[in-house]
Amino acid sequence: MNSEPADIIQVRNLTLRYSDGKESLKDINLSIKANAINVLFGPANGGKSTLLRTLNRLNDLTDVSVMQGEVLFNGKNLLDPDIDVIELRRTIGIVFSRPVVLPMTIYENISYGLALAGIRSKVQQKERVKEALQQAVLWDEVYDRLDTPAAELSGGQKQRLCLARSLALKPEVIMLDEPTSALDPVSTANIEDLLQRIKEELTIILVPHNTQQAARMADYAAFFLQGELVEWGTGEQIFTRPKEKKTQDYVEGRFG
């Protein structure tokens, strides 16, 4: 990295409690850096997925009893009730661990979302589909069978299709929640390579599926433990010179 990237998202004093009373995020303060891979890592139940779901308001659909603090994005608090949630979810996309393809063709898996987003011109759709598949490094494998069912793709290809589906909407941020946990090592390496490539164009927030992947991928890293953000910094600092003993113990595999 040449210079310190700008903050694209600023999480300020974010506390979230589900209606069962459990505090899943405790006074979180964190900056997400633009055009970088921002890794959120730590043991299960740390609050990583909860934070991702908060950033594009998927938590609106779950039973949250308390949400305090703010999340600044493009000069606005994205937790404000008057935010356009549909537009927010286009701008901050999410890819989950299990690739969920729609029961449609490869082409339609992408064009469907474009149509929903108001892009109805067939010419424009065609261009966007091609561009997204190229960005997701899937084009060369599927360009001659775009009209076949997406269900016939391999697991790794399906995950790249899910990524292409988000990329087609030209998001500013893509969040990935353990995107390679269901994939073999070769498919995992493909996804990791392509994330390194696309960070030139957008911002990535990655919940990795293990600490090795966190260390490999992180330009910036935030260590979550039981709803608390223990520490965050550059990947290099967190994985070689952590300030907190808890981070060091986790990174060195003393608990997990």
Ligand X SMILES: Nc1ncnc2c1ncn2[C@@H]1O[C@H](COP(=O)(O)OP(=O)(O)OP(=O)(O)O)[C@@H](O)[C@H]1O
Q: Which residues bind ligand X (CB under 6 A)?
A: 18, 20, 22, 24, 44-50, 62-63, 224
The residue among 97 and 134 lying less far from ligand X, judged by its C-beta, is 97
The residue among 85 and 102 lying less far from ligand X, judged by its C-beta, is 85
Angle at 127 between CA 183 and CA 137, to 5 degrees: 25
For residue 46, the minimal CB distance to ligand X (Å) is: 3
For residue 47, the minimal CB distance to ligand X (Å) is: 5
For residue 20, the minimal CB distance to ligand X (Å) is: 5
The residue among 24 and 188 lying less far from ligand X, judged by its C-beta, is 24
Angle at 172 between CA 63 and CA 122, to 5 degrees: 100
With 0-12 / 13-18 / 19 or more C-beta atoms within 10 angstroms meaning exposed / middle / buried, residue 111 is: buried
The residue among 224 and 250 lying less far from ligand X, judged by its C-beta, is 224
Angle at 100 between CA 71 and CA 132, to 5 degrees: 75
Burial letters for 190-206: b for 16+ Cβ neighbours within 10 Å, e otherwise? bbbebbeebbeebbbbb
The residue among 47 and 242 lying less far from ligand X, judged by its C-beta, is 47
For residue 122, the minimal CB distance to ligand X (Å) is: 40
The residue among 52 and 153 lying less far from ligand X, judged by its C-beta, is 52
The residue among 89 and 130 lying less far from ligand X, judged by its C-beta, is 89
CB atoms within 10 A of CB 130: 17
d(CA 129, CA 137): 12
For residue 167, the minimal CB distance to ligand X (Å) is: 23
For residue 179, the minimal CB distance to ligand X (Å) is: 13
Amino acid at 215: A
For residue 225, the minimal CB distance to ligand X (Å) is: 9
Residue with tokens 């890592």: 41
Q: Which of 16, 40, 13, 153 is nearest to 94 (CA)?
A: 40
Burial letters for 78-99: b for 16+ Cβ neighbours within 10 Å, e otherwise? bbeeeeeeeebbbbbbbbbbeb
The first and second tokens of residue 117, run together, are 């987003």
